[in-house]
Structure 1
Amino acid sequence: MNVPPAPRAPDASAETSAETLVAAYRVALAAADAAAVSVRAARPEDLPAVVALFERTWGAGRSPDASLLRALDHAGNTVLVATSDADAAPAFVGAALGFLGWTGGIHLHSHMTAVAPGLRGGGVGYALKLFQRAVCLEHGVDEMRWTFDPLIRRNAHFNLVKLGAEVTDFHPDFYGRLDDAISGSDRSDRFEVRWRLDSRRVRAALAGSPRPQWSSAEPTRDGLPAPEPLRLDPDFERLRDDAPDAAARQRTDSRVVFAEAFSRGLRPELAGDSWVFTSRPADPA
């Protein structure tokens, strides 16, 4: 992967120190070892396997084709693969795609991360994200962003608790109707998160340090009570399959809560199994 140094935003911090960069690759390699995978930049001959893994996850025709992935990689974006260390002939078990953006400052938009069925929840996605982080820091990019469905609890936990990302925006029906293998006909509501790659919040999350205690009971800037905590279903995807009417009601109800919170300048944080809404900064001293 030929990745030139990314242009810096006018207000960007100083170049990443050698110590920070070594630490970033160290934690990425440790995560890969724990998941029994190797993570690296994709090679041209890997791209059909990347397409196959993305389509296995989201459905036929839901992946960028190999030529587009090749162009993105050549232009200096992250196209990563994870291969299993378990067999003599390594199998492709994970892939990630991210591309540079500049809205609100230079960042990497981490668009797609796929893990082979049967290995999800085993640390492969974590290893891919940490490798993306290290590559970004190496090339002077200190922020990543992506979107996720705010009703899927395991993704909320992964993004905010395990990685230390922070929610910055709510986008109702962000992609329109997807009709893919994951979302089906459900509305594509999304939270956008910002992952400030060397922030105190992120370093604490990666170290497994205790999180702040977030609560909707705290005073808000406007002096009005925050919305009540919004409890997340343990498996919203299963609920969507087994009880679509109940899932649709949760989607509609959550939209009202999120819209009110963001209109008042409140941020969502995950507290146990619920979203709570606060005026406190995401990275308090």
Structure 2
Amino acid sequence: MTVDPITVTEAFRRADAAASAAGVTVRSADPSDITGVLGLFDRTWGVGHGPDRSMLLALDYAGNTVLVALGDGRPVGAALGFLGWSGGLHLHSHMAAVVPWRRSHGVGYALKLFQRAACLERGVTEMRWTFDPLIRRNAHFNLVKLGAEVTKFLPDFYGRLDDAITGTDQSDRFEVTWRLDSPRVGNALAGATPPAWTGVERLRLDVDFEQLRAADPEAAARLRAESRRLFTDGLTSGLRPEVNVDNDYVLTTDAADGSPKPA
């Protein structure tokens, strides 16, 4: 489809502003960047848990979004996305990594906004990705800061990963859909106050799950099991998880724009 050129221009303006605020330059990767991108993926997930060099080069050559964020001329962030067409044409944003000392400083946000602009420029209006629903900062980033919506719960989606992040934990994931030119996303990117969701059920996210998983694996496993039951039952019943002002999950029947469901 064709996207209004004004929308595309505004998307790139937002991406440039986010990159400037983060102190980076974001662009499509050149072949000469591939070694640095692979290094970022290896640093984040462990060697052998990402694409190999030939696969990444092929994805880049085919025009998929292989992006690099440069700080002081060095790669400090990278993202990989590729086209999918199940349920409609979309970009599946598969991997994003930022060096530890630049995390929580806007680099990931800048990468995502550049991905969005690149998609809109090519007439792709939807992105999807998966994330662990128990990682609180990712839940806030994806649902509140970006305005993505949870569309599926995928229990143990990847199986046992044994990577540097998940370890032996089960790889439960939410799939989110980012409707790139929707009012919800526009409001989120403009920094609008999130809706006051009408909650049917809640799940508190008042612990750092990654620390809990390392310090008390049994407690982490109990929380994983509790969340799996809640999310499976909730989405099966037509509820959608959102994040409230306390960064806890609210399972709601409200519309994605925050309006209550008609009685």
TM range (shorter): over 0.9
Structure 1: distance between partners of 2:138 and 2:164 = 17
Who is 1:135 aligned against? Answer: 118
Aligned length: 258
Unaligned runs of 5+ in 2: none
CA contact (8 A) 1:54 1:114 kept: yes
| 1:1-285 equivalence runs, <5 A | 14-84=1-71, 87=72, 90-216=73-199, 226=200, 228-271=201-244, 272-284=246-258
Structure 1: distance between partners of 2:53 and 2:69 = 17
User: Which is greater in Rg?
Assistant: 1
CA contact (8 A) 1:147 1:192 kept: yes
Structure 2: distance between partners of 1:41 and 1:244 = 39
Structure 2: distance between partners of 1:174 and 1:213 = 30
Q: CA RMSD in A?
A: 1.0
CA contact (8 A) 1:153 1:273 kept: yes
Give the letter aligned to residue 247 of structure 2.
Answer: D
Calculate percent identity across the aligned residue pairs: 64
TM-score, normalization: structure 2?
0.96
Q: Deviation digits for residues 168-216 of structure 1, max 9, x if unmatched? A: 0000000000000000000000000000001000000000011111131
Structure 2: distance between partners of 1:235 and 1:107 = 32
User: Secondary structure of the equivalent of 2:101?
Assistant: coil
User: Secondary structure of the equivalent of 1:64?
Assistant: coil
Structure 2: distance between partners of 1:30 and 1:82 = 14
CA contact (8 A) 2:198 2:253 kept: no
User: Secondary structure of the equivalent of 1:129?
Assistant: helix
Question: Could you list the runs of 4 or more consecutive aligned residues of structure 1 that deviate by over 2 angstroms after TM superposition?
Answer: none
CA drift at 1:234 = 3.4
User: Secondary structure of the equivalent of 1:177?
Assistant: coil
Unaligned runs of 5+ in 1: 1-13, 217-225
